[in-house]
């Protein structure tokens, strides 16, 4: 509206045009939100996650969502931790066995892989652009054993941020119930900005303070922390628009999959102490590579004259990670040999113990044949 001291016609025209402008502006804004935020489209990417825990003989339930068309699913680590069996049910009813391919126990996030392709992933947003009072949404399967495995959408607002294991997390005025863990937190553009993982338990609050909290208080982990649990897919998922969060040092060790390992004892040849070497191995989700140097001898290596051959090469490995164990198969080529591998890495913290059977083809008799390899090293 424009105010003038002289002439009433200009004021009249402004008053007449203003309501029309407001109506048009409101129509435009509402149309934009409907076009960007489509609950039906988002629902096609939200899944039900169930995990069987042998120790408790119970099935845990939670939510998850598609983050890559190749079958990658994001969820909470506490839903699938130490699970013997993990299942993922898509909204169309298809159910798949899932494998844990990445996890961060400190921040309670995990990545699963199912043998399904052509899935529609949710778009990733920027949690650093969230402000106080921003409206947010979450989708999930609350109380599936009591109320049925139906997908439910709830809405609320961002009320602030909290510190959780040196990580800045969202505090939400939003209903979070058992079964919602692992569901996506979305902004008004339909982009994932977080993973819902916890709530303020009113009963614990009552015991500790003697008061019952009013309202609903939920918490979500910013989506950017998920990228450190993924393999090469993270470059496609997070390179579009989300910057990396500042580097932070966790206060406790994370059970994330091995990204790399350094084996300081390479192995035994023909069940004799005849091969000693070093190997640098890296894994990215399912696949990995290894650069290896081995020294062979006819007996214990005591002097330079005992050394019969030196073999060096590059190996390609393929295998899933199942909790603390990664079984794998592989093939390697290098100076003096061609090889196939069959082995497994056992990881406790940063310690790795490696058992491996190797079949080598080489013109050098000390390198050729079957090898049983044992390794002790460090992983990160």
Determine the Cα–Cα distance for residues 11 and 163; give it in Å rounded to an integer.
53
Under DSSP, is residue 170 helix (H, G, I), strand (E, B) or coil? strand
The yes-or-no verdict on residue 309 having pLDDT over 60 is yes
pLDDT of residue 262: 57
How many degrees, rounded to 5, is the angle at CA 264 between CA 301 and CA 378?
165
Average pLDDT over residues 77-94: 93
Cα distance from N-terminal residue to C-terminal residue, the chain = 63
- Please indicate whether residue 177 or residue 36 has the higher confidence score (pLDDT): 177
pLDDT of 95 > 90? The answer is yes
Query: Cα–Cα–Cα angle for 109, 110, 115, nearest 5°?
Result: 155
Q: Is the pLDDT of residue 6 over 60?
A: no
Query: What residue ranges define each of the domains in the chain, with the CATH number in brackets?
Result: 41-113 (2.40.10.10), 127-223 (2.40.10.10), 260-379 (2.40.160)
Q: pLDDT digits over 49-71, tens only?
A: 999 988 888 889 999 999 999 89
Check 45, 63, 181, 266 and give the catalytic one: 181
Contacts of 63 (CB under 8 A, 6+ apart): 46, 47, 48, 49, 75, 139, 140, 141, 179, 180, 181, 182, 183, 196
The pLDDT value recorded for residue 210 is 60
From 45, 63, 78, 366, active-site residue: 78
Averaged pLDDT, 186-211: 75
Give the per-residue pLDDT at 258. 41
The answer to whether residue 11 scores a pLDDT higher than 70 is no
Q: What local confidence, expressed as pLDDT, does residue 42 receive? A: 93
Q: Classify 100 as helix, strand or coil.
A: strand
Q: What's the pLDDT score for residue 111?
A: 94
Residue with token string 């922390």: 225
| Catalytic residue chosen out of the listed positions 104, 108, 294, 345 | 108
More confident residue, 324 or 32: 324
- Whether 291 shows a pLDDT value over 70: the answer reads yes
What was the pLDDT predicted at 56? 83
Count of residues in the chain: 380
Question: At CA 152, angle to CA 45 and CA 224, rounded to 5?
Answer: 50
DSSP of 270-325:
TTEEEEEEEEEEEEETTEEEEEEEEEEESS---SGGGEEEEEEEEEEEE---BTTE
308, pLDDT greater than 80: no
- In three-state secondary structure terms, 23 is helix
Q: Rank 142-146, 232-236, 237-241, 277-281 by mean pLDDT and report only the highest.
A: 277-281
Confidence of residue 254 (pLDDT cuts 50, 70, 90): very low
With bands split at pLDDT 50, 70 and 90, how would you rate the model's confidence at 123? very high
Report whether pLDDT(29) > 70.
Answer: no
Is residue 44 predicted with pLDDT exceeding 80?
yes
Q: Considering the entire predicted model, what is its pTM?
A: 0.54
Report pLDDT for 246.
45
Residue 239 is among the residues annotated as catalytic for this protein: no
Tokens of 189: 């553009």
Q: So what's the pLDDT on residue 64?
A: 96
What pLDDT, on a 0 to 100 scale, did the predictor assign at position 164? 86
Q: What is the pLDDT of residues 332-371, one digit of tens each?
A: 998 888 989 899 988 887 788 888 888 888 888 777 777 7
Mean pLDDT of all residues in the chain? 77
Q: Alpha-carbon distance 95 to 138, whole Å?
A: 22
pLDDT at 146 (0 to 100)? 74
Q: What is the mean pLDDT of residues 21-43?
A: 55
Q: Which residue has the higher pLDDT, 191 or 147?
A: 191
pLDDT surpassing 90 at residue 275: no
108 is catalytic: yes
Lowest mean pLDDT, pick from 21-35, 57-71, 259-273: 21-35
- Annotated active-site residue 69? The verdict is no
Region 118-136: what's the mean pLDDT? 92
């Amino acid at each position: 509206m424009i105010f003038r001291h002289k002439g009433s016609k200009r004021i009249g025209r402004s008053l007449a045009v203003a309501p029309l402008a407001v109506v048009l502006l409101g129509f435009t804004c509402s149309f934009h939100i409907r076009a960007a935020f489509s609950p039906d489209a988002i629902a096609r990417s939200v899944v039900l996650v169930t995990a069987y825990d042998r120790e408790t003989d119970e099935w845990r339930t939670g939510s998850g969502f598609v983050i890559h068309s190749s079958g990658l699913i994001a969820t909470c680590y506490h839903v699938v931790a130490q699970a013997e069996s993990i299942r993922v049910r898509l909204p169309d009813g298809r159910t798949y066995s899932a494998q844990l391919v990445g996890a961060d126990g400190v921040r309670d996030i995990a990545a699963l892989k199912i043998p399904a392709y052509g899935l529609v992933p949710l778009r990733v947003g920027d949690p650093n652009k969230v402000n106080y009072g921003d409206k947010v949404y979450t989708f999930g399967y609350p109380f599936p054993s009591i109320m049925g495995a139906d997908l439910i959408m709830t809405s609320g607002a961002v009320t602030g941020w909290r510190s959780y294991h040196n990580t800045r997390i969202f505090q939400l005025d939003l209903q979070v119930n058992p079964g919602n863990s692992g569901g996506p937190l979305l902004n008004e553009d339909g982009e994932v900005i977080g993973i819902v993982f916890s709530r303020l338990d009113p009963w614990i609050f009552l015991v500790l303070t003697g008061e019952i909290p009013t309202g609903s208080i939920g918490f979500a982990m910013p989506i950017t922390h998920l990228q450190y649990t993924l393999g090469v897919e993270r470059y496609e998922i997070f390179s579009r628009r989300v910057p990396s969060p500042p580097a932070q040092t966790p206060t406790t060790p994370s059970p994330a999959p091995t990204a790399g390992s350094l084996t300081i004892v390479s192995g035994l040849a023909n069940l004799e102490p005849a091969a000693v070497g070093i190997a640098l191995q890296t894994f990215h989700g399912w696949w990995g590579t290894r650069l290896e140097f081995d020294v062979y001898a006819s007996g214990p290596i005591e002097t330079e004259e005992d050394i019969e051959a030196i073999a060096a090469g590059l190996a390609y490995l393929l295998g899933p990670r199942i909790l603390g164990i990664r079984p794998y198969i592989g093939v390697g080529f290098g100076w003096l040999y061609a090889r196939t591998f069959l082995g497994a890495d056992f990881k406790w913290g940063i310690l790795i113990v490696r058992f491996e059977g190797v079949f080598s083809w080489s013109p050098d008799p000390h390198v050729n044949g079957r090898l049983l390899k044992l390794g002790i090293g460090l992983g990160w």
